[in-house]
Structures are given as C-alpha cells and as structure tokens.
Amino acid sequence: MPKKVTTPEVAEQPIEAIHPMLEVDEAIERRLVALYTLQLVDSEIDKIKIIRGELPQAIQDLEDELAGLQTRIENFKSSIAEQNDNIAKRNSEITDHKAMMAKYQKQQDNVRNNREFEAINKEIEFQELEIQLCERRNRDANNKIKELEQHIEAAQLLIDGRQKELDSKKEELDGIIEETKKDEVRLLEKSKEMEQYIDDYYLTGYKRIRNQARNGLAVVTIERDACGGCFSKIPPQRQSEIKMHKKVIVCEYCGRILVDDDIAQKAKANLEK
C-alpha cells in the first residue's frame, strides 16, 4: 500500500509565501492609509464649510459693495468741492468785472466824443455779460451740488442698510464658527499631521485632484465594483491589484486614487485616535 505524502511545511507557510504577488508593501499601505485618512479629515472640514453655507462669500460681497459705495460718496464729495472751488473763482471774477464796470462808468464822465463813449459803453456791456455768464454757471454749479448731495444721501441710506445686513450675517457666521471651532481646529491639526506621512509628490497630486473635483474627493473606495468618485466600472483584475497594496492606483477615468475597504477601515480607525 503506497504511503500518503504530506507537506506540512507548505501548510504552515503564510499565504504570501505561497503567492509572492499577494505580498503587501507596508510603505505603500501606510501611504494609502494616510491619504484616505487625510481625505476623511478634509471631507469633514468640507462639511463644516457647507454648514457655514454661502455666508463667507455673502459677507465678502457686502464688504466689497460697502467699499464701492464709500468710494462713490468720496467721489461725489470731491466733485462738490470742485464745484465750490469753481463758484468761488467765478465770484472773484464777478467782483473783478464789477470793479471794471465801475471804472468804465467813471470814465464815461470824462469822455471827449461819442466814439469814446461808445467804446466805453461796449466795455461796460461786455463786463455785464461776463457777470451774467458767471452767475449762470454758478447757478448750474449749485444745481449740480444739490444733485450730488442727493446722490450722497441715497448712497448713505444704502450703506446703512447694507451695514445692518453685514452685521447680521457676521453675527450669524460667528455663531456657526463658535459651534464648529473645536471640531475644525482638531480636524485641521489632524490634516497637518497626516500630510507629514505623505510624500510631496503624492500630496501635490492629492491636492490637485481634490481642487478639480466638485465634491472634493481625491481618494475613494470601490463601491459595487465601481469607482466611488465617477462610478465607472473597475475590472476585476484592477480590483485585485488595488487590494494588494503594492502601489498607488488611480481611476483610469477620473484620476482619483482608489483604495479598498481594508485601507478604508484602517483610515477610519486612524481618524479616531
């Protein structure tokens, strides 16, 4: 009867020794865990920003509008000052023209003939026309000043309303920030901590992908045999390579970094530390 051959030494070996392709690269695995942990942290920070909603942008828009209104008021005031300067100059010119009229009127008493009288009379008429012109321009300037003052009043009313709205939104935002401050500080510290474990090359790639993605996801898991970011199907062979943790693998369609459930679980445990 033939003897039964046993190979206990093979049975005792770990599966990685029998199948070298299944060996896990610990450095790559740590990198993947750090990347997915960073993704979880950044996603939580994104949620906090979502809670804040559009308040920061609304506040910035209001501050820009207020600055623009204030600049408009300053421009109106500058125009009023310019009009007042012009009025003062014309008033001085009117005084000069009246002085000239008085001078010419005195000369009329000493004319020797009609020709001299007519010449002086024309000079007096010219001075009168200059005075009338200056007075008309001053009336126009005063009307312009009133119009500018009305613009200033309207702009100031708008400023008062926008300032109240700004104060209200700032108060609302401050309340939200106060509620989420502790969590945000903790998450930001965790984010910086995780970045220390990621090479610059991968960290730069992570941030680039994250900035391009609408949902901020740069590292995703496989869900129902598909990329958790773009939902494109991933071939079985590709999924096997992802589970080996031998290299960083990205989605062929969206470029996101792909990880399996094992990495995801370790990252979640890492996040709770």
DSSP structure class, residue 246: S
Q: Do 169 and 59 meet the contact criterion of CB atoms below 8 Å apart?
A: yes
**Residue range(s) in the chain whose domain bears CATH number 1.10.287.620:** 55-180
How high is the pLDDT of residue 97?
94
Q: Do 160 and 69 meet the contact criterion of CB atoms below 8 Å apart?
A: no
- Give the gyration radius of the chain's Cα atoms: 41
Q: How far apart are CA 247 and CA 174, in angstroms?
A: 44
Series of mean pLDDT values for 10-residue runs along the chain (273 residues): 34 33 69 92 87 87 96 96 96 95 88 86 93 96 96 96 95 86 85 86 90 89 92 93 91 92 90 74
Expressed in angstroms, the distance from the first to the final Cα of the chain is: 61
How high is the pLDDT of residue 24?
54
The predicted model scores a pTM of: 0.57
Q: How far apart are CA 99 and CA 101, in angstroms?
A: 5
Q: How far apart are CA 110 and CA 91, in angstroms?
A: 30
CATH of span 55-180: 1.10.287.620
Q: Do 189 and 197 meet the contact criterion of CB atoms below 8 Å apart?
A: no
Q: ∠ CA 61-48-42 to the nearest 5 degrees? A: 110
